[in-house]
Amino acid sequence: MGDTTPSGAGRVLQVDVELPDGRHCPVLVGDGVRHELADAVPSRAGRAAVVTQAGIGVDVDPGIEHRVFTIGDGEEHKRLSTVEDLCSAWARWGLTRADCVVAVGGGMVTDVAGFAASVYHRGIPVIHVATTLLAQVDAAVGGKTGVNLPEGKNLVGTFWQPAAVFCDTATLATLPPREWRCGMGEVAKYHWLGGGRLDELPLVERVAACVRIKAEVVAADEREGGRRALLNYGHTLAHALETAGRHELRHGEAVAVGLVYAATLARRLGRVGDDEVAEHRRVVAGYDLPTSLPPGLDPRSLVEQMGRDKKSTGEGLTFVLDGPRGLEVVGGVDPGQALAALEEMA
């Protein structure tokens, strides 16, 4: 992690996501870094398609001819039809494979725009300008893209590394309190990935610390063949909660519940004791996030939903769980145990 602060400017930290074959993705973190966007645009690009949402209110200048394409707000727009609409609009405008896409917004925008960029002309460069805490510490970094199906969250997607990511912490000043807490759900996850007390760090350092942890994991396992799955800690239940609850629970809130659930399940399986479950509750509650299941959801339906999780590869259910050796991917979990842990949390 390097400090690229120019004289007289606010502090800017750069974390490079090093990838196989010498590829790398620079991630810049700091107030105002989005104004460096033009430096990251590929030299051969003549046009940039800027994808954003109404109300984000963050302007960018890629330094070349560009046009803004707006997608809908809300998880109901995170679907294949939105990707088709984007690609059709780009084709009508004349966007070529030499051009690029700039995603400006939160995790939904980077997921959708990144996916569309990965399939348009079989792949064109994409740059992310992350404007929410959740996107800056997690969603915009690492190259995973995806959209939802009625059967589950992020079930269709690609691995498509961005050319660069700009985490402009100045854009976080106007985040609504709930959106801020949503990002804290992902920050809390990094506590168990080596981050420790991230809440004690200044904002720029906190975001950069999360990015550094994710960068190290992605560098070792870009396509989630093993270790990268640990970044999904808490997400198996989280995605089920989002789908079953029709996204009334925001992603970071669902991850927070999923973290406590994962500890509760790990205790039932003899992997951790009461102290670890209490620690999970303490950390999650410390970020002002929920620690119990929301009312009105059927635990049996949640177990069925968790069976569709992307990590599942065989018999039983698959989770990332804490244990004596830290976080591990654990397969073959008895659905009855998963159900009992849900009922315990309710």
- Is residue 153 among the annotated active site residues? no
How far apart are the C-alpha atoms of 285 and 134, rounded to whole Å? 17
Of 66, 181, 186, 310, the active-site residue reads: 186
Of 92, 122, 246, 325, the active-site residue reads: 122
Of 189, 214, 267, 271, the active-site residue reads: 214
- Is residue 205 among the annotated active site residues? no
- Is residue 35 among the annotated active site residues? no
Phi, psi for 73 (deg, rounded to 5) = -95, 140
- Is residue 122 among the annotated active site residues? yes
| 277 CB neighbour count, 10 Å cutoff | 20
The token pair at 334 is 């008895």
- Is residue 178 among the annotated active site residues? no
How far apart are the C-alpha atoms of 147 and 77, rounded to whole Å? 9
Of 153, 181, 212, 251, the active-site residue reads: 251
Contacts by 2-5, CB closer than 8 A, 24 or more apart = 4/28, 5/30
- Is residue 121 among the annotated active site residues? no
Of 47, 66, 206, 228, the active-site residue reads: 228
The token pair at 142 is 């690492």
Q: What radius of gyration, in Å, describes the C-alpha atoms of the chain?
A: 20
- Is residue 232 among the annotated active site residues? yes
- Is residue 77 among the annotated active site residues? no
Of 34, 144, 250, 280, the active-site residue reads: 144
Of 179, 224, 242, 253, the active-site residue reads: 224
Run of H or E residues at 252: helix 251-268
Of 78, 212, 232, 267, the active-site residue reads: 232
Of 78, 181, 191, 239, the active-site residue reads: 239
- Is residue 186 among the annotated active site residues? yes
- Is residue 214 among the annotated active site residues? yes
Of 181, 189, 235, 267, the active-site residue reads: 235
Active site residues: 122, 144, 186, 214, 224, 228, 232, 235, 239, 251
